[in-house]
Amino acid sequence: MFEIPQSFSKKTVLAAAFSGVILHITLEAFHHPTMHPFYPLMEKPLYDLMSTLEVRILALVCFGLSIPTYIYKAWKNHSTSLK
């Protein structure tokens, strides 16, 4: 019931992986003082704009939003397969 059929091209997988790396580095740059996301430049323009708690809350909110999206897609797929 909760299975969603998927088919992805290599281009889609590579784009998702690249965006995941960029998003991860960006989130880490907010609260790690030793992280230099623009190495070899030593600037840290994102550091301390958000606290660690705020970054964790943002991640939990994104995860919370993904659950109803997944359930909706699974329900939609299940209801169309019954027809």
> Is 1 a residue whose pLDDT tops 60?
no
What is the rounded average pLDDT of the residues 45-59?
A: 89
Of the candidates 34, 44, 37, the one whose C-alpha atom is nearest the C-alpha of residue 22 is: 37
Would you say residue 69 lies in a domain? yes
The span from the CA of 10 to the CA of 31, in Å, is: 33
| pLDDT tens string 19-30 | 999 988 888 888
Q: Could you tell me if residue 75 is inside a domain? A: yes
- Reported pTM: 0.65
Domain containing 43 equals 10-81
Predicted pLDDT at 2: 62
**Domains of the chain: total:** 1
* Mean per-residue pLDDT, 62-76: 89
Flag whether 74 is in a domain.
yes
User: Which residue carries 């909110």 as its tokens?
Assistant: 61
**Domain assignment present for 1:** no
